[in-house]
Chain A
Amino acid sequence: MSASDAPSERAASPRRSWGPLALALPALVLLVAVIGYPLATIVIRSFTEPQAGLQNYSWFFSTPVNLVVLQRTFTISAWVTLVCVFCAYPFAYAMTAVGPKLRMLLTLCVLIPFWVSGVVRTLSWVILLQDSGVINSMLRSVGLDGVRLIRTQTGVIIGMAQVLLPFMVLPLYSVMKGIDLRLVQAARSLGAGPIRAFFTVYLPLSLPGVYAGAIIVFILALGFYITPALLGGPRSTMLSTLVQNQVLSLLQWGRGGAMGVVLLVATFLLLALAGPLMRQRHKQGTR
């Protein structure tokens, strides 16, 4: 739509081209001042503090602890993404299959967590997972004693996946909603069993939703700070906590900045890689 609008507008009033920019200008100024300038400061400090050079980066990549945490951050994010995909898939499918009343209820289930304060949701996981918590007292009553959930990687994954699940369900649902179920019926009528019809017809058609959701979840998980800080322990530290530690406790702005830049680069690399996948989805949508 915008492509066909653009030429006529340009031809009609060339002088109007500065007006729209002026409308967006206040937001852009704020963006530069509160996002652009601070990020630039961090990048510059990572190269200049305490001395100019690459020593902060060589320190980061030569210290075993950092590499362990970096790897763990990616592992935890991958697990969280995997858990989200497997939980969200049947849920999103059910949202497309049920009647309007039930769909409303399922949508509410997804949206309520969106609205409840993130800190409060993490707090409830602290209450549930702690050693004297709900889950442990239930496990104890069936004879499983001394299962540690809080301050473990499992606890962090459970909590993070719950917080991020809506970001997986919503894109999946919006793609599944558009799948023509007659295609599945056609496959069935041509002799494919239900399992084969699912894997050869429905699953490939829903993959764009899986990709979109997985990328959002993975990127958000990489930068998670609150949930790992409250649910995790020393053996489940993620990169964000290390950054915070370097800056607030050790006042090492250069080292903290370098870690931050690594995290930032990883995020934007993933987004860039995701670009082609998203474009593919667009093409499929218009076809």
Chain B
Amino acid sequence: MTMHPLTRVLLGLACILVGLWLVAPTLVVVPMSFNENKSLAFPPQGFSWQWYQNFVTNPEWSTSFFNSLKVAVVVAILATVLGTLAAFGLDRMRARPAGLLRMLLLTPMVVPGVVLAIGIYAVYLDARLVGTMTGFVLAHTILALPFVLIAVQASLEVFDKRLETAAASLGAGRIATFRTVTLPLIAPGILSGLLFAFVTSFDEIIVSLFITSPYMKTLPVQIFTSITRDADPTVAAVGTILLCATTILIGGGLLLLGRDRRSSL
């Protein structure tokens, strides 16, 4: 459709501004991470790698990083298994109960974080789970589960069930059918669920802030306390590292996706 040139210019301008607003602010952590002074004041002074060194050598930072990594890996696996099973279950149920259970399983997405956090904190205090690996894994798994459910359900929706019938009619057992037909076809959904679950756990902050202890901190908790305590540019260094890691992950994913599409053509 033809657009008035003035509309075109205004629309382009709005787009550039909104795009910048979305992406640019986050980039500010990059120059701050090379600051020579122990301050987050802009503009940064000089150049130094000391905050990156601090991240690697200071046990407060490195331990919290590895805690986050451990929790996120376990959560990604657990949430993916539970979420995929649930997605299959809901797929084979009648529409009404399936819709109800789906709504229930998605509630963790809409319950205000702090309300959930004080509830979990109350229960964990009684169950002695505050500041434990198990506590973090349980809480993060239920928060990550909705993302797995959505991703796997989406790929099950476009999955043609007649293929299962075809495999069965050709003599494949239920397990063989699942392994050779169903699983490969819905693998992209499971994989994106896995990735989402990992990121959800690695990023989770509100519940973590409540169930943390001096002995068990995750990276977001460490970042949060550091921001509220003092102006330590190590947070900027950590932010830059996370930014690079995500960019590489997404970039790699897009490249893989592009190659897949080309090879299938």
Contact = CB atoms under 8 A, between A and B. Distances in A.
A21 B220 contact: no
A20 B1 contact: no
Interface size class of A (residues with CB under 8 A): 35 or more
B205 interface: yes
Contacts of B215: none
Contacts of B138: 30, 33-34
B14 interface: yes
B129 to A, nearest CB: 10
A94 B239 contact: no
Contacts of A190: none
A250 interface: no
A162 B28 CA distance: 15
Interface in A13-55: 16-17, 19-28, 30-31, 33-35, 37-39, 41-42, 45
A148 interface: no
Interface string B128-147: 00000000001101100100
A25 B90 CA distance: 10
Contact of A264 (B40, B85, B86, B112): B112
Contact of B115 (A17, A243, A271): A243
A162 B21 contact: yes
Nearest to B114: A240
A38 B139 CA distance: 11
Contacts of B235: 123
B87 to A, nearest CB: 8
Interface in B113-127: 113-123
A273 to B, nearest CB: 13
Interface in B95-125: 95, 98, 101, 104-105, 107-108, 110-123
A119 interface: yes
A222 B122 contact: no
B89 A219 contact: no
B223 interface: yes
A144 interface: no
B3 to A, nearest CB: 8
Contact of A39 (B22, B104, B116): B116
A248 B236 CA distance: 28
Interface string B222-246: 0110011000000110110011001
A267 B112 contact: yes
9 contacts: A24-B86, A27-B149, A35-B108, A117-B239, A127-B40, A230-B224, A230-B228, A256-B118, A257-B118
Given A132-B42, A253-B122, 11 more contacts: A17-B94, A20-B89, A21-B93, A26-B82, A38-B122, A90-B15, A119-B224, A123-B236, A165-B22, A223-B115, A226-B206
